[in-house]
Amino acid sequence: MIRRTLLSLYPDKSVARKWPRMKNEIFQDRPSRYLYGAILLLLLLSGCGAILHGGKQEVTFDSKPPGATVTLDNATQFFTPHTMLLSRSSNHHAIFKKDGYDPQRVMIQHHFLVGPSIIGNILPLFPVGFTIDVVTGSAWGFEQDYIAVDLTKAKSQP
């Protein structure tokens, strides 16, 4: 069909005769095929942290004794034990409370993940992948994914 169209556009047949050869020259050249494949692979692997583990991390909260109320970031409340997804892009703080026990505060600090953020992003596209990881929060992670607190009995007031 393409050849017929070229023949109708160019009656001297010079372009129409070259068409299959031009097409084959582009796609049959092995080094360029590998180059196109490598470029496609680089584009697919950019933003490695975002692809591998996303912008949230699963964290489990537990207490001794169980059943303590946890207030997370002065908003979310739940009872221990409990597992939830937390945004990797910021620090979080939790307050554990239970009747008859002293409340305890815990800071959940995020840190920069060197492996997925630097090494995981392939060097030619490093700025693109690194930017994606930082914006989505995937460049960060929590040191602990299991937060356990031993609550101490409150001293009775006379």
Domains observed in the chain: 2-45 (no CATH), 48-150 (2.60.40)
What is the Cα–Cα distance from 143 to 54, expressed in whole angstroms? 16
Low-confidence ranges of the chain (pLDDT < 70): 1-31, 40-53, 114-126, 128, 157-158
Would you call the peptide bond into 65 cis, given omega within 30 degrees of 0 as the criterion? yes
Give the pLDDT confidence score for residue 100 in this predicted structure.
93
pTM: 0.61
Give the pLDDT confidence score for residue 17 in this predicted structure.
52
Element containing residue 76 per DSSP (H, E): strand 76-79
What is the Cα–Cα distance from 31 to 37, expressed in whole angstroms? 10
Neighbours of 49 (CB within 10 A): 27
